[in-house]
Amino acid sequence: MRKILSLTFALFAGFALPVFSDDRPNILFIFSDDHAPHAIGAYDGWLKSVNPTPNIDKLAAEGMLFQNSFCTNSICGPSRAVIQTGKHSHKNGFMNNGNSFNWDQQTFPKLLQASGYQTAIYGKSHLKGKPQGFDDWMVLPGQGLYYNPDFITPDGRKRIDGHSTDVVTELATSWLKEEREKEKPFMLMVQYKAPHRNWMPAERYLHLYDDIEMPEPPTLFDKWEDNTLAAKYNELEIDRHMDINYDLFLDLTPDYDQPASQKRQDRSAWNNMKRMSEAQLTAWRDAYGPKDEAFHAADLSGDDLVRWKYQRYAKNYLRCVKGVDDNVGNLMATLEELGLDENTVVIYSSDQGFYIGDHGWYDKRWMYEESLKMPLVIKWPGVTKPGSVNTELVQNLDYASTFLDIANARIPNDLQGQSLIPLLQGTQEGDFREAIYYHYYEYPSVHMVPRHYGIRTDRYKLMKFYQFGEQWELYDLQEDPDELTNIYETADPALVAEMKKKLEDLRLHYEDDSHEAEYSLEKKKEFWPEYSE
């Protein structure tokens, strides 16, 4: 049963102020970056065979795994802004990574503070500016670094040597042990950079998976023959767009000076190497040097080269995931050591899904399943049945309401999400949500995924790439879970009309008036040369 909040009141300066003397649960929110659900063993995806996440799997066995957990906007900063505010991107003002988050607005950490919680955040914020609503914080600037990262603190910048994932955990566990006010419940956000691009694993995992071949996704060589032109004019293909040096570290050294393969190249791995210690660089070259020599000797091309790039990428991605999973275990062990494990709600999530070769891609942004889905695992001792699996349609939009509800704090009327507590308690009657709404804004930009919005029900998904006129895609997820067959032109017109009405109804419900006019014909042809009216 949920904990009962008891209130006593004290007088201070003539005002009646609430003093909380209660056993409300603590909240530990563990949040990674770009961690696809199918790279978690408990989600039973095609990467399960390499056992990437034993600690997250254990967390799922002790709590509830959400099978249909989705983001509202599949990109790092906007997803985090939605979680902070419980509002869609068009409402919180952070629609793409070029925006700056308005920290003066209402956020759930501020509301938890007002209700008597102590709050802290360590790791990747990616919202620019100094965090508000936290009693203590140390955050990575921007994307942050994997090795020897800088942190923004209330007292200025500070460099801490080590691998970012480990360092963030050490900051969090130190706070739990030494700085936490033991008479207050807490809400602690532990937010990792990993496994974000450029997928730089910790030294201890540089050789992990050397002796195996990663299973390939069934759609690795998808040619997007049934999609609109949107999918064909992307810039996130492993084949054409994943840089073999800057992304996959081939021959990469701190003094590397070759041009990148694409205009908007991420060079963070190369820049990070420049501040590695000699010991770190030696470990790096000892691990990758022999692999690089083998690659040059093989002289690969065509599909064989794509397969090599996929293997190199997937292994580095999962090596970073392994570091995250280690530290989930460390956090859980710390809770147990401090006697906090029975009264702490633990949440594991990530800002969106990710392509690990699915459809031949890496990155996210699309409303297709692999980037739309985000992991969500919640352990609530005494409330949530261990090993339970939920299939209702939930979103990161719901997190703020859920955290406030856990704390028995007031949920403001302007929050657009719903509390997940009825699902966690097993008391939900009827469907939690009939459909989810999605809107992606960042175009033209990195990876060139056009702006689009859409709706997903338990069976169907409808998307519109609105800058390019009547560019629609419709999928039957029950018959076509890999979204290979766009049925927009062939489906029953009544189904199409029904889905369009549901979409428009949700746009009105969420008050999304951010729809922009479509491009001119000249502009359409500039971006999509094959476009025709």
pLDDT for 266-276, tens place per residue?
A: 999 999 999 99
Arithmetic mean of pLDDT, 328-342: 98
Averaged pLDDT score across all residues of the chain: 94
Q: Which two tokens stand for residue 444?
A: 């033209």
Identity (one letter) of the amino acid at 257? D
What DSSP element (H or E) covers 17? strand 15-20
Arithmetic mean of pLDDT, 452-472: 96
Which range is least confidently modeled, 32-36, 136-140, 190-194, 230-234? 230-234
Q: What is the pLDDT of residue 16?
A: 38
44 Cβ partners below 8 Å, 6+ apart? Answer: none
Confidence of residue 5 (pLDDT cuts 50, 70, 90): very low
Q: What is the pLDDT of residue 417?
A: 98
Q: What is the pLDDT of residue 448?
A: 95
Q: What percent of the chain has pLDDT over 90?
A: 92
**Per-residue pLDDT at 14 exceeds 80:** no
Q: Hey, is 237 helix, strand or coil?
A: strand
451 Cβ partners below 8 Å, 6+ apart? Answer: 440, 441, 442, 443, 465, 466, 467, 516
Arithmetic mean of pLDDT, 346-358: 98
**What are the tens digits of pLDDT across the range 77-90?**
999 999 999 999 99
Residue that wins the pLDDT comparison between 11 and 21: 21
Arithmetic mean of pLDDT, 279-298: 97
Q: What is the pLDDT of residue 7?
A: 37
How far apart are the C-alpha atoms of 115 and 73, rounded to whole Å? 29
How far apart are the C-alpha atoms of 378 and 329, rounded to whole Å? 15
How far apart are the C-alpha atoms of 384 and 376, rounded to whole Å? 14
**Per-residue pLDDT at 525 exceeds 90:** yes
Q: What percent of the chain has pLDDT over 70?
A: 96
Rg (the chain; Cα; Å): 23
**Per-residue pLDDT at 11 exceeds 60:** no
**Per-residue pLDDT at 4 exceeds 80:** no
Confidence of residue 1 (pLDDT cuts 50, 70, 90): very low
Q: From the CB of residue 225, how many other CB atoms can be counted at a distance below 10 Å? A: 10
Arithmetic mean of pLDDT, 311-315: 98
Q: What is the pLDDT of residue 9?
A: 31
Query: Could you tell me if 321 and 196 are in contact, meaning their C-beta atoms sit under 8 angstroms apart?
Result: no
How far apart are the C-alpha atoms of 227 and 46, rounded to whole Å? 24
Confidence of residue 2 (pLDDT cuts 50, 70, 90): very low
Strand order across the beta sheet in which 26-32 lies: 156-159, 150-153, 136-140, 118-124, 186-191, 26-32, 344-350, 376-379, 64-66, 388-390
151 Cβ partners below 8 Å, 6+ apart? Answer: 138, 139, 140, 141, 157, 158, 159, 160
Arithmetic mean of pLDDT, 105-132: 97
Burial 279-305 (b: 16+ CB within 10 A, else e): ebeebbeebbeeebeebeeeeeeeeeb
β-strand partners of 140 = 124
Q: Hey, is 307 helix, strand or coil?
A: helix
Q: What is the pLDDT of residue 138?
A: 98
The CA dihedral of 351, 353, 356, 361, to the nearest 10 degrees, is -100
Instruction: Assign a CATH topology to domain 437-527.
Output: Arylsulfatase, C-terminal domain (3.30.1120)
Identity (one letter) of the amino acid at 467? Q
Query: Could you tell me if 451 and 228 are in contact, meaning their C-beta atoms sit under 8 angstroms apart?
Result: no
Confidence of residue 311 (pLDDT cuts 50, 70, 90): very high
Spans of all domains in the chain: 7-199+314-429, 437-527
CATH architecture entry for 7-199+314-429: 3-Layer(aba) Sandwich (3.40)
Q: What is the pLDDT of residue 445?
A: 93
How far apart are the C-alpha atoms of 389 and 170, rounded to whole Å? 31
Q: What is the pLDDT of residue 13?
A: 32
How far apart are the C-alpha atoms of 78 and 16, rounded to whole Å? 38
**Per-residue pLDDT at 17 exceeds 60:** no
Query: Would you say the C-alpha torsion 467, 470, 471, 476 has a positive or negative sign?
Result: positive
Arithmetic mean of pLDDT, 344-362: 98
**What are the tens digits of pLDDT across the range 414-449?**
999 999 999 999 999 999 999 999 999 999 999 999
Residue that wins the pLDDT comparison between 16 and 43: 43
Q: Which residue has the tokens 């719903």?
A: 418
